[in-house]
A and B are shown apart, each in its own frame.
Chain A
Amino acid sequence: MIRKTFMLLTGLGMAMPTFGHYIPGDGPVELSASVVATWRSDDIVEQNDYWRIPGALMGGHAWPYERGVAVDEALLGLGARINERTFAVIEVGTHGGGDGHGDSAEVQHAYLGFQCCEEPGPWVLEVGRMSSAFSPSLATHAGDRLTSESPLVNDVFFGRDFHDEGVRLWWHETAGWSAGAEYWRGKAFPANTDGDGVWDVFARHAWSAGPTSITLGGWYYQADAIARADHRYGGGHTHTPVAPPGATAEAFPDTRFTGDVDVYGIHAGLEYRLSTDWVMGLEGEWMHFAMDGTVHDAVGRQARLDADQQGGWLQPSISWRRHTLGLRGEMLTTDNHLTGSAAPVLAEDSGLANASGHDPMRYTAVWRYQWRPDVAFRAEVIQDETLADDELRFAFGVVWQGRLWPQSRIRGHQH
């Protein structure tokens, strides 16, 4: 029995994609919390440097992972079933981000949902602030992932995570199918609040037969942005950082992007149960990201940008009882063309320049041990080739995902 419980946990938690989106169960109130803390052996970039992958226009919450112990994520979630068809979810949490960047808590979820029209579903209408549903990995928390670090394409194309205010109508997991559309206010990277709105459509199918479970899906996302800044370092009143004696620091060049962003992707997850003890899994996602617009800055310089970028990750894993071994390979390619008198300087200032034709890649080998139902440990070796200088770093972390109320095993419906 105990073995089956752990197998179920590891199987749900790792091999198959999970979502930050959540539909509460039948109980009146559910309260849960999670904390993910990780020690890393090295920084991605030095102090007073800015993490910008050559060829990419980054932003959002894609802070560089830093040396030492960091809280990658801390969440407190409340779900309530208002009546048979209506529910509400509130989640408060912090983003990971060293040097105090992500320390402040924010409301990540605050939405109302309505299930229609049979009992229950299959149509679900949700309104409020919430994660997106179009990409499974984008809505997955650090504690739910096999690896502690978010996929490279999520960092580059969506600023690591996606929380926005909007409305979602979807056909919810009926006969294995889920499909729907979302319309957002545009507060989440790569859009911004000054844009004309953001929308996406998605569909996925889950199929299971015998020892095999497969999930396949695809999505399309469209946004626009007006003078979108990289709010990690710029977008407001900026100064040259104060560097310690002997070190130098440069002010962040506050370039902006105005234009259209089109992204589409496909994702797949496969789980194959070899025996009662062994489970093999394979997950992956591929995205294509296009930008058509203008890069500009505060002194009136601008250049046309036509960018085609794509990337993805593939993650095979094998689980034995409480242990899971996995390997994630990631790659990103960028094809950018800037035109205009200011093109050379804006390419440099924006981070789009990629003189050496660098193809960012990253490989992560991970071992995860589910010590208790709510507590897991993981160790990772990361070969990071996202920047011009390669880096090998190690990470050791602990994941706690607790159900605070009620204590029963009946849980809500988590995606």
Chain B
Amino acid sequence: MFVKKLRAGPVWPALLLCVSALLSGCLESSSTTVDDQGARVSSFDWDLPESIPLPKEPEDNPMTEAKFQLGRHLFYDRRLSTNGTVSCAGCHQQDKAFSDGVARPFGATGEQHPRNSQPLVNVAWASTVTWGNPSLGTIERQILLPLFGDDPVEHGLNEANSEQVLRSLQADPTYGPLFQAAFPEQNDPLFGDLAWDNVVKALASFVRGLVSFDSKFDRGELSASAQRGERLFNSERLECFHCHAGYNFSDATVDRLTTFNQLMFHNTGLYNVDGMGGYPEPNTGRHEVTGDPDHMGQFRAPTLRNIALTAPYNHDGSVETLEGVIRNYAAGGRVLTTGPNPGDGRMNPFKDGFITSFAISEQEIDDVVAFLESLTDESFITNPRFSNPWNSTGQETP
């Protein structure tokens, strides 16, 4: 009876066959294809881990090894100052991750800078390249400030002395071949009209090539204390990872994969000089440029890579240790009862939403510091590629 009934309903097997045929015919093998449009292609050997995306290179100044090497010579050359006393390396020393270890450095003419020297670590990935200027998006534009800026004077170059400085470079036989190799498309890159433009591009290429991704953290060699610190760093309680985010430990990070350049600046409650959120002049951060009251005290979150080498901390070097920085965050801001800028930073109305107080033990502070110390890249501060090239020539550094 069962067989009979089945035969009596021919629609049943027919439909089964039809649906099976339909499904088998429609379903093809899966695949996902990607076209990165050359995002991993560069004429420069960045020597990066596979997980790190290449940084953006300016179309008018693509990276080359020749420009990097020329920039390296210029970076350490004191002749690039009004009186031959200051080179870029004066405030950006390799053993300190290209910072200088002082709160606020002095320029060639003795004028003290209002800001702490920023370490030059993975600057190529920074969305902006100063503490608080949102309009400075390229290293090429930023380099003009220390070279030619007059408020404050750093290198002290100007229209009056720039020709003389250039002549001193032209007189050094080392530079001719370096300039020619760096700018082979130009007939006379050291003596022509583009000489200063070439100096800036070469310096920017060297700074752009200062790459640090070989710390204990990168190698997965964290101590037990550093592992605890990492968990605290990424915890809901401390919230560190929001501003110090991603592979470069800064939310102000761009690379070839990012389409939008998000300007990220934060007020960390370091000051409150007038009870209304004011920061001491002239260090008001992003507010200095935009004039927007809401931008008062906003500064870019620096990368934490090699941070243990770059004390003192914050934009004005006013916090001496990493422990001090953590304690300020734990308090939800800094309280100053003495000195020239007293005030309760905890009550700063422009403070970032993530700067809220949290409880933390001494052991936990040590653990977080241990994690931050694990971000130190020993090979970065000893890499001969980044060192003073004049030493290897037997010449005294000019």
Which A residues lie at the B interface, using CB under 8 A?
A: 54-55, 211-212, 214, 239-240, 242, 251, 268, 270, 272, 274-275, 278, 280, 282, 284, 286, 288, 296, 299-303, 310-312, 314, 316, 331-347, 352-355, 357-360
CA A251 to CA B19, docked complex, whole Å: 42
Q: A299-B258, A345-B53, A345-B257 are in contact. Are A274 and B33 (CB under 8 A)?
A: no
Min distance, Cβ A207 to any Cβ of chain B, angstroms: 10
- Give every chain A residue within 8 A of B37 (Cβ-Cβ): 339-341, 343
Q: A282-B15, A339-B37 are in contact. Are A353 and B6 (CB under 8 A)?
A: no
Q: Which of B2, B26, B257 has a CB less than 8 Å from the CB of A274?
A: B2
* B19 contacts A335, C-beta separation under 8 Å: no
Min distance, Cβ B105 to any Cβ of chain A, angstroms: 32
- Give every chain B residue within 8 A of A337 (Cβ-Cβ): 32-35
| Chain B 7-35 interface residues, beta-carbon cutoff 8 Å to A | 8-9, 11-12, 15-16, 19-20, 22-23, 26-35
* B19 contacts A333, C-beta separation under 8 Å: no
Chain A residue at smallest Cβ distance from B11:
A212
Q: A345-B53, A347-B32 are in contact. Are A272 and B12 (CB under 8 A)?
A: yes
- Give every chain A residue within 8 A of B219 (Cβ-Cβ): none
Q: Which of A239, A280, A342 has a CB less than 8 Å from the CB of B259?
A: A342
CA A310 to CA B25, docked complex, whole Å: 12
- Give every chain B residue within 8 A of A342 (Cβ-Cβ): 36, 39, 53, 257-259
User: Could you name 28 residue pairs across A and B whose Cβ atoms are closer than 8 Å?
Assistant: A211-B9, A212-B9, A212-B11, A242-B231, A251-B234, A270-B15, A278-B5, A286-B26, A288-B26, A300-B260, A311-B27, A314-B23, A333-B28, A334-B32, A335-B28, A335-B31, A336-B31, A336-B32, A336-B33, A339-B35, A340-B35, A340-B37, A340-B259, A341-B36, A344-B36, A347-B34, A357-B31, A359-B27
Min distance, Cβ A206 to any Cβ of chain B, angstroms: 15
- Give every chain A residue within 8 A of B5 (Cβ-Cβ): 211, 274-275, 278
CA A301 to CA B36, docked complex, whole Å: 12
- Give every chain B residue within 8 A of A344 (Cβ-Cβ): 34, 36, 39
Chain B residue at smallest Cβ distance from A296:
B259
- Excluding A212-B12, A335-B31, A337-B32, 13 further A-B contacts by CB distance (< 8 Å) are A212-B9, A270-B12, A270-B15, A274-B5, A275-B5, A282-B12, A296-B259, A300-B258, A301-B258, A303-B34, A331-B23, A342-B257, A342-B259
- Give every chain A residue within 8 A of B234 (Cβ-Cβ): 239-240, 251
* B29 contacts A280, C-beta separation under 8 Å: no
* A55 contacts B32, C-beta separation under 8 Å: yes
CA A346 to CA B257, docked complex, whole Å: 9
Chain A residue at smallest Cβ distance from B5:
A274
* B32 contacts A338, C-beta separation under 8 Å: yes
Min distance, Cβ A190 to any Cβ of chain B, angstroms: 18
CA A58 to CA B23, docked complex, whole Å: 22
Q: Which of B11, B32, B253 has a CB less than 8 Å from the CB of A352?
A: B32
Which B residues lie at the A interface, using CB under 8 A?
A: 1-2, 5-6, 8-9, 11-12, 15-16, 19-20, 22-23, 26-39, 53, 231, 234-236, 245-246, 251, 253-254, 256-262
Q: Tally of A-B residue pairs with Cβ under 8 A?
A: 144
CA A343 to CA B37, docked complex, whole Å: 9
* B257 contacts A55, C-beta separation under 8 Å: no
* A335 contacts B11, C-beta separation under 8 Å: no
Q: Which of B20, B29, B36, B259 has a CB less than 8 Å from the CB of A359?
A: B29
CA A267 to CA B274, docked complex, whole Å: 71
Q: Which of A55, A302, A341 has a CB less than 8 Å from the CB of B256?
A: A341
CA A137 to CA B53, docked complex, whole Å: 43
* A272 contacts B9, C-beta separation under 8 Å: yes
CA A41 to CA B16, docked complex, whole Å: 32
Q: Which of B28, B30, B36 has a CB less than 8 Å from the CB of A354?
A: B30
Min distance, Cβ B155 to any Cβ of chain A, angstroms: 34
CA A314 to CA B38, docked complex, whole Å: 43
CA A335 to CA B32, docked complex, whole Å: 6
Q: Which of A278, A300, A336, A352 has a CB less than 8 Å from the CB of B261?
A: A300
Q: A300-B260, A302-B259, A338-B34 are in contact. Are A314 and B2 (CB under 8 A)?
A: no
- Give every chain B residue within 8 A of A302 (Cβ-Cβ): 259
CA A358 to CA B30, docked complex, whole Å: 6
Instruction: Give the one of B22, B34, B258 with max A CB within 10 A.
Output: B34
* B31 contacts A354, C-beta separation under 8 Å: yes
- Give every chain B residue within 8 A of A355 (Cβ-Cβ): 32
- Give every chain A residue within 8 A of B245 (Cβ-Cβ): 299
* A239 contacts B9, C-beta separation under 8 Å: no
Chain A residue at smallest Cβ distance from B15:
A270
- Give every chain A residue within 8 A of B231 (Cβ-Cβ): 242
- Give every chain A residue within 8 A of B235 (Cβ-Cβ): 239
Min distance, Cβ A193 to any Cβ of chain B, angstroms: 23
Chain B residue at smallest Cβ distance from A273:
B5
* B16 contacts A333, C-beta separation under 8 Å: no
Q: Which of B23, B29, B38 has a CB less than 8 Å from the CB of A286?
A: B23
Min distance, Cβ B190 to any Cβ of chain A, angstroms: 35
CA A178 to CA B1, docked complex, whole Å: 36
* A343 contacts B19, C-beta separation under 8 Å: no
CA A285 to CA B397, docked complex, whole Å: 77
Q: Which of B1, B11, B20, B23 has a CB less than 8 Å from the CB of A275?
A: B1
Chain A residue at smallest Cβ distance from B257:
A342
- Give every chain B residue within 8 A of A54 (Cβ-Cβ): 30, 32
Instruction: Give the one of B15, B20, B256 with max A CB within 10 A.
Output: B15
Min distance, Cβ B130 to any Cβ of chain A, angstroms: 20
Min distance, Cβ A58 to any Cβ of chain B, angstroms: 14
